[in-house]
Amino acid sequence: MAGSGCLLYFSILSSLLLFSATITEASQCAISGLPFVRNISELPQDNHGRGGLSHITIAGSALHGMKEVEVWLQTFAPGSRTPIHRHSCEEVFVVLKGTGTLYLASSSHVKYPGTPQEFSIFPNSTFHIPVNDAHQIVNSNEREDLQMLAVISRPPVKVFIYDDWFVPHTAAKLKFPYWDEQCLQSPQKDEL
């Protein structure tokens, strides 16, 4: 099994780089000029102002000209988490490493997310978030990083953030651009 260690390598590499924001490509916004086959370990990563996060856009709207899907590699340090948020797109997760908790509020409450369901997530697991359902992912493991591939439709993602599960949907705060701030312009309100 000469090659089976590659995934291990992939995982370790991301951990080592977790808190750096190394930019190894000439530009973070270049659609042209990138190699057609790209080495993920050489792609730009950033924490986008969120402690404990490493985000890499593997295939993205602003960076690579994707129009229908985006793929991200995200690593969460122990204790770190996404905000409580929703977005108007499908999202699929593949857990590569680590464990954590998914909190998911289905659409049964019309005015606010409400108390979420709780799911354990684990290595080699997958799940998807229904369009517009509020959710949060927490690395609840005290010692190990949580690393996931995330796939979304309808890029670039527009994220609505809730301070807690009982904030009305209409009071959730839009954050756009969410990633790739330096490449995307904020849309007019009526574009959303």
Shortest reach from residue 72's CB to a copy of itself, in Å: 11
Q: Write down the least CB distance from residue 124 to a copy of itself, Å.
A: 5
End-to-end CA separation in angstroms for the chain: 49
For a copy of itself, the binding residue among 26, 32, 33, 36 (CB under 8 A) is 36
With binding defined as CB under 8 A, does residue 133 bind a copy of itself? Answer: no
State yes or no: residue 3 binds a copy of itself (CB under 8 A).
Answer: yes
Neighbours of 40 (CB within 10 A): 13
Number of residues lying near a copy of itself (CB under 8 A)? 57
Give the list of residues 6+ apart from residue 66 with CB closer than 8 angstroms, or none. 59, 60, 155
Residue 78 sits in the site that holds a copy of itself (CB under 8 A): no
3-state secondary structure of 136: strand
Residue 18 binding a copy of itself, by CB under 8 A? no
Determine the residue type at 59.
Answer: A
Can you tell me which residue has the tokens 């190990």?
Answer: 144
Q: What is the DSSP string of 58-123?
A: EE-HHHH--SSEEEEEEEE-TT-BPPEEEESS-EEEEEEE--EEEEEE-TT-SSS--SPEEEEE-T
Q: Is 169 in the site for a copy of itself (CB under 8 A)?
A: no
Rounded to the nearest whole angstrom, what is the least distance from the CB of residue 69 to a copy of itself in the complex? 5
Query: Which of residues 151, 169, 175, 184 is near a copy of itself by CB under 8 A?
Result: 151
What 3-state class would DSSP assign to 151?
A: strand
> Does the protein bind a copy of itself through residue 10 (CB under 8 A)?
yes
Distance CA 7, CA 12 (A): 9
Q: Which is nearer to a copy of itself, 167 or 183 (CB)?
A: 183
Q: Is 137 in the site for a copy of itself (CB under 8 A)?
A: no
Positions touching a copy of itself (CB under 8 A) are: 1-13, 15, 36-41, 58-59, 64, 66-69, 71, 89-90, 92, 94, 96-99, 102, 104, 119-128, 141, 143-145, 149, 151-154
